[in-house]
Chain A
């Protein structure tokens, strides 16, 4: 197993109290595999990724419990210097907003080249040649001429390619992409997603794709973890989850999105609002919004039940998953 997150808990100490952002997350990714982590804002999907990358702001954040095993080694037990060697070289991240993640006053060639200078001790000249090579690889036209340009001279799609190039620079084994195409237009989104998937295949990397977009997930993921209020509520291979969701939240999400190929009447809407992380409801966090909720849901926190019925393994954190799956 390339990466295994076990029972991870993260909280933030704020003026108003303790916000429990991640409350026991388990997931794993193999080499060459794509795991999509799906959730709305505040579900803890990005915080989990930041903890894995080691870029969580501590304080106010705090990892209170859990293990993050990368190639069998618990990252949380490493010293910061040791982690820094892993970050970038073995695991890298692609952020959502390329314009604010790139330095506006440094040319893209220098920003890409910096990876090689810092991690590989290359000279400025050699690292520049490497930068051009990378820009070619992510199919930026006229890479040689554009290597000295600044981020604002590139379009949104091109900037996101530069972010991908930067993540790929040292050929890491794991890439975490946090909403990599959310800020892009649909036609460009398709180009960037295709590129990412292709490079992943080529380099046999593990990919964690963090997104709120069920459409993007369906196109590229192998398996999905759906998060709600800092927990995984459902985990399954991609085909199963779309065919028959085993958690009412997943089911609600799937039904609430309008489809391009269907003109519906009223959309199904999940009632209510996502929970406040300072005061997560007792029992199942989804119970105030759930159509299946009963007394037990308000008191007992549902574990992640094994709901495997076919050869493929899947799990759901709903006491009444049978009803959800078959009813």
Chain B
């Protein structure tokens, strides 16, 4: 793997639960993120998948410093950004930008597109001197596939897909190295999703960006990611390359998640085994002891209540050369194929 541009170690975010008005007493904590580690290499895309409430968006917010971690480190080129002085932080922030989920609420309705995309230059004037800004913004519009003449329009004059392009242009304005995208296409129509996913792919090559791509849609994550981390209740339970995770998952949660994805192919439905989990995700304020997935896991045994499984290569695979040899936080990890391997069957018809 290339050199890591971002290293996340032991990241926690706990929100205190308090009781009382005058004399606030902490009675517990919502452990939204509860020990997350990963590396992001320059130029790669790390996908993070998980269901609602698993903490993936909180991780995103901490990466761009919109939330301060309770503990843990986020090292950008070796420097922990959660402990920088405000001045040093400002410089680092330029290099880590975010694209938000909802293109309807993340753009100020009273600002023109030109002002929205150009606003980052107010904070970092060194990137574009004043006289140069309008041209820069027009270039950005062009880069994301919008007509540069639209610079004076307002967000309501655009469709959802176009607005997301505006959000992406704003993210690119400061020429960052890392873009954290939190569910960037989930609010869009199917036919428009593909356009935006392709755009993100092209921009990555053009500007050699690294992406942290957060989504709940496993198919899109596979499409765009080099490596994928699966989160459950505030922790990464399995992480590896896309083929390792999708074709050789070893954690039961990943297997269940993958098997539950509806595949747009009625023929495939016959030969797929579905693992349907029972129950709901436990509350992050009351996380089960030991393995946090055990309450919904069909393999759970006594050891799972007592011992927290570490995110590491499981002992059974340590000496093998199999693709199942990747980090998985399960005491009883075993490989199970739930997604048929690639190039199995005919190619889809081309347009």
Contacts and interface: CB of A to CB of B under 8 A. Distances in A.
A119 interface: no
B342 A191 contact: no
Nearest to B343: A262
Given A187-B256, A251-B351, A218 B190 contact: no
B263 A242 contact: no
Given A187-B51, A214-B190, A214-B264, A260 B218 contact: yes
B274 interface: yes
A262 B220 contact: no
A219 B256 CA distance: 16
B260 A260 contact: no
Interface in B249-282: 256-258, 260-269, 274, 276-278, 280-281
A40 B190 CA distance: 7
B190 A256 contact: yes
Contact of A186 (B161, B218, B340): B218
B266 A257 contact: no
Interface stretch (A5-13, A265-273, A297-305): A265-273
Interface in B171-216: 189-195, 197-198, 201, 216
A123 interface: no
Nearest to A276: B159
B266 A238 contact: yes
A30 interface: no
Contacts, number: 152
B260 A187 contact: yes
A262 B264 CA distance: 12
A242 B223 contact: no
A239 B267 contact: yes
Contact of B263 (A212, A243, A261): A261
A263 B265 contact: no
Contact of B189 (A40, A157, A158, A271): A40
A244 interface: yes
Nearest to B345: A261
Interface in B319-351: 339-344, 348-351
Contact of B264 (A158, A193, A218, A273): A218
Contacts of B189: 40-41, 212, 274
Given A268-B194, A274-B191, A260 B261 contact: yes
19 contacts: A186-B51, A186-B261, A193-B262, A214-B190, A215-B219, A218-B265, A218-B266, A242-B264, A255-B348, A257-B194, A258-B223, A258-B224, A259-B219, A260-B263, A261-B340, A268-B351, A269-B194, A270-B195, A291-B351
Given A185-B216, A194-B276, 16 more contacts: A40-B189, A41-B189, A158-B280, A188-B280, A215-B263, A219-B262, A242-B266, A243-B267, A252-B191, A254-B264, A258-B194, A258-B222, A258-B223, A260-B218, A261-B263, A267-B198
- The 6 A-B residue pairs with the shortest CB-CB distance, nearest first, are A215-B262, A258-B223, A256-B194, A185-B51, A214-B264, A269-B194
Interface of B: 51-52, 159, 161-162, 189-195, 197-198, 201, 216, 218-220, 222-224, 242-243, 246, 256-258, 260-269, 274, 276-278, 280-281, 339-344, 348-351
Interface of A: 40-41, 155-158, 185-191, 193-194, 212-219, 238-239, 242-244, 248, 251-264, 266-271, 273-274, 291
